[in-house]
Amino acid sequence: MTTTTPAPGGLTARATGALRWSFLNTVVSKLGTMAVGIALARMLGPAEFGTFAVATVALTAVLSFNELGVSLAIVRWSEEPGRIAPTVASLSLAMSALMTGAMVLLAPWFCAVMGSPGSTPVVRVMALSVLLSGLVATPAALMQREFRQRERVVVDQLGIWLGAACSLGLALAGLGAMSLAVGRVVGAAATAAGFARLCPEGFRLGLRRDLLPGLLGFGLPLAGTSILVFAVGYVDQVVAGSRLGATTLGFYVLAFNLSSWPVFIFSLPLRTVGPAVFARLRGDVPATRTEFRRLLALLASASLPVCALIAGAAEPLVRLVYGSAWLPAALALQLLGLGAAARIFGELAYDYLVINGRSRSLLVVQAVWLAVLVPALLIGSHEGLRGVAGAQLAVMAVVLPIYVGLLRRHGLTLGDVVLPVALPGAVALLLLVATSALSAAISSPLVACLACGGVATIGALALLWRQRASLTGLVDTRRTA
């Protein structure tokens, strides 16, 4: 006999509420930091921005391995997380301190390789963010597990706005790229203070040796995967900086950041909710498939039209927002905007596979990805910015089928992966053609952006209307017994 009962704890309702808060948090954060970033880019120019980009690559490299991946075990833990939280906090803090020291010592060598020796002081200042990141890893994971995104809004906004105000003030005082580094550290410190106020239990230290094998067994493969994820995500910037120079790296990073708007606004909020949802449903295959399709359809409907807009209107967008001095970035943005769509799908697949204990499989995927990407980038760099961006897009055609294959091996069908993105993908293709034509036909960047934005908005709203049940939480995950 078959019956249906709601998923335990009203999971879908809680997840939908958390997703709303996370989406609001991300949109407010990104709109604010976008405005501040535009002001700073215009004030500093491509050369200083390139110096900061070198430091950001170094910081991201260290953060990818920072706390050994053990904090995610709290989200996945099937029992009361308080049992492992002190040990996770101790591991995270110890590893962060070690990585902070390594970043400070190796900064001169890294900056020389990147062709920007003058970036060394900026890298060393930003190393303090590594220590602060490890300090808050456990409280952040605890809040994610319990869908406490509403409280997380307060913490994140505090750090973002204090950091942004600090960077703007120091930039006006003439500190150049260092203003961005100091602002980053101030923001991270404010975030740590917010976590200490709202989730003090996450800062409790302790060490249970009987838990170490299980935590490290889960975290180390994930940390290794994270290093490869970093390499895949940032080797293009390493190639651009080392072979084309820091100023060209500034152009490329600006284009990459613009192309990442859909990732930050749509994928990042989902990633604060999706892992917890998949963890709660682990073992219930029908419910997991339903939830994956729902999340993927919602994500594709919201993000793919924006990716098409960014790619199609790249030139007027850069010219209007950042000024003519940054126009070379449009060459890369046209292709990186398309690549963002693939990145969004890859991140959802990554989270699903991690929560289902497939971190070793992901390690293999990232290794293959990197092995194909590095030679492609080196070849593409001979064509400048556009060649580096084109190499990224070409390699995605190799990697995405691998992700689809892994999802099929671990509980999903081809229809679960393809059908939710079919209609959004077709609409995005039409929007790409339309926005490209409008950009070429309209000389005024303001008018071109308004026209392209209007067309993309119509397409996105039509798709989101079809997903209104998911947006309002009316679709319940059901359990079949």
Residue 89: pLDDT over 50: yes
pLDDT > 90 fraction of the chain, expressed in percent and rounded: 16
pLDDT for res 208: 75
Residue 5: inside a domain: no
Residue 15: inside a domain: no
Is the model more confident about 353 or about 317?
Answer: 317
The count of domains in the chain is 2
Domain boundary (207, 236, 263) is at 207
What residue spans of 245-384 are helical by DSSP H?
246-259, 261-262, 268-271, 274-280, 285-312, 314-322, 329-355, 359-380
Coil, helix or strand for 64?
coil
Q: Are residues 343 and 448 in the same domain?
A: yes
**H or E element at residue 408:** helix 385-409
Q: Are residues 139 and 254 in the same domain?
A: no
Residue 117: inside a domain: yes
Residue 67: name the closest of 186, 280, 216 by CA.
Answer: 216
Is the model more confident about 205 or about 211?
Answer: 205
Residue 68: inside a domain: yes
Is the model more confident about 461 or about 281?
Answer: 461
Question: From CA 378, how far away is CA 329, in angstroms rounded?
Answer: 19
**H or E element at residue 79:** none
For residue 321, give its domain range: 222-481
Region 200-214 average pLDDT? 72
- Which band of pLDDT confidence, cut at 50, 70 and 90, is reported for residue 426? very high
Domain boundary (173, 207, 241) is at 207
Residue 355: pLDDT over 80: no
Q: Report CA-CA distances (Å) from 195 to 94, 137, 267, 332.
A: 19, 10, 23, 38
Question: From CA 440, how far away is CA 2, in angstroms rounded?
Answer: 58
Dihedral of the CA atoms 171, 176, 178, 179 (nearest 10)?
10
User: What are the two backbone dihedrals, phi and then psi, of residue 5, each rounded to the nearest 5 degrees?
Assistant: -135, 155
Helix axes 11-63, 212-244, angle to 10 degrees: 60
Domain boundary (179, 207, 235) is at 207
pLDDT in tens, 149-185: 677 777 878 888 888 889 888 888 888 888 888 988 9
Q: Are residues 361 and 286 in the same domain?
A: yes
Q: Are residues 176 and 230 in the same domain?
A: no
Residue 353: name the closest of 291, 404, 395, 287 by CA.
Answer: 404
